[in-house]
Homo-oligomer: A and B are copies of this chain.
């Protein structure tokens, strides 16, 4: 999802395209990983003399609503946001790289294949499920491999 698609979504939802909103979106597109609101703020303050943290909070939340950003779950109680190639329309999960924080949408989770089993065993009815997968992304896996070979 490029910047043009994002701006299109802003227009469609009657949100104004301000320099700060542009910057937030650009920031996420250029840094494909998850960030806390504070981190986004720190990064953008370099370019903007006046930039309030509440502005960041407000916009990140807004962007999540309209599907430009997704929230990432961590066990600490903080907000994390990232871009995800897959928009809001497709129900999907996220792979999060434990090394670089990159977030990748995973639409092919055949949960159905195990749902029936669980329903039978618990005698319950499953209505939804949330999954987050962690590991090393393609790049980090490669890097890891090279590092190991270098050691030899």
Are A135 and B128 in contact, with the CB atoms below 8 A?
A: yes
Contact A133-B126, Cβ < 8 Å, known A73-B73, A77-B78, A79-B77 = yes
Interface size in chain A (residues, C-beta < 8 A): 40
Shortest CB-to-CB span from A36 to chain B, Å, is: 12
- List chain B residues, Cβ under 8 A from A122: 95, 104, 106, 137-138
Copies in the complex: 2
A123-B141, A130-B73 known; A114 and B117 CB under 8 Å? no
Give Cα distance in the complex from A50 to B123, angstroms. 42
| A127 CB contacts on chain B under 8 angstroms | 98, 134-136
Contacts of A109 in B (CB 8 A): 114, 118
Let me know if A131 and B134 touch, CB within 8 A. no
Q: Kindly report which residue of chain B lies nearest to residue A76, judged by CB atoms.
A: B77
Jot down 13 A-B pairs with beta carbons below 8 A, ordered by A: A71-B75, A77-B78, A77-B79, A95-B124, A111-B114, A118-B133, A122-B137, A122-B138, A124-B136, A125-B141, A126-B135, A127-B136, A128-B135
